[in-house]
Amino acid sequence: MIHIFFDAGTGFRYLHEVREPIARSRRRSWPAVAALVLSLVPLSNINASGDAGLTVVGMDVRVELRPEQGLMTETARITLEGSSGPVVRFRLNQALLVERSRAGEGVAGHSQTGDELTVTMTPPMENERRTLTLVMTGRPRYLGADRITENGAVLGGADHWIPTLPLTAAMVNLEVVAPPGWAVLGSGEPAAGRTGDVHRFQTMRPVRSVGLAAGPGLRTTVATLARTPLRVIGDQSRDASGLASIFADPMTWLSGTVAPYPFESLNLAFVPGIRRPAYAGGFIAIPADQATTTLADGADLIASLWFGQHLAGDGPWMESLAAWQAMAYARDRGQGVPSRLAAQRDRYLSMSGNRDVAISRADGDTTGAVIRGKGSSAWDMIRMTCGNRHFQARMAAMTAEPFGPPLELAAVRARFAAGTTEPVEMVFIDWFDRIGLPRFTTALKTLPTSRDEWRADLSIKQLGRAYTLSLDVVFHGAGQERRETIRIDQHTTQLLFVLPFQALRVELDPLGRIFKQPTFTRKQ
């Protein structure tokens, strides 16, 4: 069976083997005194194995944030339904220590190894409903950084601050007690009943994960994006009205190109001290100093949220698709490459080879220079190979699918390869299963012919293992040029062209459509 985990830093899901089937959950009553409450409501039950399995039918979570100590305390009351063996495995941030576990019926014991929490229930569940209560405390960390400090708090899907069973699609009620003077933002819309420093939020549509951000000295502002509320917390320089102009057009464009926006609001937090964005249902938390000044920047953030939550994938490769979609928006609107994405592409070009990882084997610790920098171009290689019409048809079919389990990369490969004679599978192998980039050297030799024309002999040599590529080639003469499109798949490709002018130089990929190392040309 599979266990699906969400990474807040990337916005995407990863699969790990477990023994429980996938389950969904539904709403339960929750105490008014809770510091943070999540009530989960199912769309339907999903079972990856086909067995009767175990389903989460309710979850009440109480959390208290203590930023002066960097601590959180939590009580999670999880109602399970169905049949299972004696062992249930959860994913939980390894910095959170479970102090007590108990079952509403029978006996429950627990043990922790890394970020896996194993709960043993006696007797095992047999087509019944049982409530499991876990009490825990600790200092959650992500990528070596504390998530709760005196400067602010960020909790997202990858923090695993809630004990996680497989896929959850749920309505959420969120109640947060924050220190006096702290602004708070969570997934969903503000709910009625705020008292003092207690902040409540509620989602009206299913979400895969829950986000929470809070901090001192921040303010909350609100605007509207195409009838969707935009809620922002940040310092005085971050105002929802100004940011609305950055996000409105990308949201409209993506709604028409990908799928209707899947959440009732967009909640955006600018938080000091975090190093990379965190994503959850309708929620994004980004570093306080991250640039959000262009339409392309807005598209970059929304696309990551859209793909990570609406589709999701069985690995970080899904974020590469989101990065490509942001670039597609920028091209369509005549914008430059999104600033964060441009920096990641530059970082990949200068990165040491021993840090490179194949995109298909990347994990939550893989640098964004690989997943987004190289990955944003990998999808362009698929598009250029199979053609725009075929590519867009496959994208439309994929994004039109109902909310469900994360997509597997192997299945996506098969979809794009189906119905075309182009070598799509080979291009997937080149760009997703290998490290590095294409690198060429070219040699140009010209000779006059008897018909007042010129013969151009072009040799293209690929350094290292050969890629399968479609390349634009431009021959430049004295005030003249000729453009050709070629396909290469060998270490050395010899080509002959007859031109009406003498070619003085040749240029490969003049529009920079291929993410490649610099090309070296010599004239013979």
Residue 292 forms part of a structural domain: no
- Confirm if 40 and 25 have CB atoms less than 8 A apart: yes
pLDDT score of 162: 81
Same domain, residue pair 75 and 39: yes
Long-range CB contact pairs, 106-109, < 8 A, 24+: 106/130, 108/132
Residue 128 forms part of a structural domain: yes
Same domain, residue pair 199 and 114: yes
Cβ atoms within 10 Å, residue 132: 23
Cβ atoms within 10 Å, residue 370: 22
- Confirm if 432 and 424 have CB atoms less than 8 A apart: no
Same domain, residue pair 419 and 455: no
In the chain, the amino acid numbered 96 is L
Same domain, residue pair 64 and 152: yes
3-state secondary structure of 432: helix
Q: Is the peptide bond before 123 cis (omega within 30 degrees of 0)?
A: yes
pTM, rounded to two decimals: 0.79
Mean pLDDT by 10 residues, the chain (524 residues): 40 38 34 33 33 62 87 83 84 92 87 92 88 91 86 88 74 85 92 79 84 92 92 94 94 88 94 87 92 91 88 88 93 89 92 90 90 93 92 88 82 93 93 93 92 92 90 93 92 94 92 80 56
Same domain, residue pair 357 and 408: yes
3-state secondary structure of 436: coil
User: Domain containing 492 — which CATH number?
Assistant: 2.60.40.1840
- DSSP for 345-403 reads HHHHHHS-GGG---GGG--TTS-HIIIIIIHHHHHHHHHHHH-HHHHHHHHHHHHTSPS
Record the tokens describing residue 6, joined without a space. Answer: 């969400």
Q: Number of folded domains in the chain?
A: 3
pLDDT score of 519: 63
Record the tokens describing residue 39, joined without a space. Answer: 């009530």
Residue 121 forms part of a structural domain: yes
Same domain, residue pair 128 and 199: yes
Q: Indicate the residue among 218, 236, 264 that finishes a domain.
A: 218
pLDDT score of 250: 94
Q: What's the rounded Cα separation, in Å, for the pair 517 and 327?
A: 20
Q: What's the rounded Cα separation, in Å, for the pair 427 and 404?
A: 27
pLDDT score of 8: 40
pLDDT score of 78: 79
Same domain, residue pair 409 and 445: no
Beta bridge partners of 417: none
Structural domain including 452 reads: 440-523
Q: What's the rounded Cα separation, in Å, for the pair 476 and 483?
A: 9
Residue 252 forms part of a structural domain: no
Same domain, residue pair 362 and 416: yes
Same domain, residue pair 427 and 447: no
Same domain, residue pair 463 and 491: yes
Same domain, residue pair 490 and 408: no
Same domain, residue pair 168 and 55: yes
DSSP 8-state symbol, 85: -
User: Domain containing 162 — which CATH number?
Assistant: 2.60.40.1730
Q: Indicate the residue among 176, 194, 218 that finishes a domain.
A: 218
pLDDT score of 100: 93
Residue 86 forms part of a structural domain: yes
pLDDT score of 524: 54
pLDDT score of 475: 96
pLDDT score of 157: 81
- Confirm if 447 and 454 have CB atoms less than 8 A apart: yes
Q: Indicate the residue among 432, 465, 494 that finishes a domain.
A: 432
- Confirm if 319 and 308 have CB atoms less than 8 A apart: yes
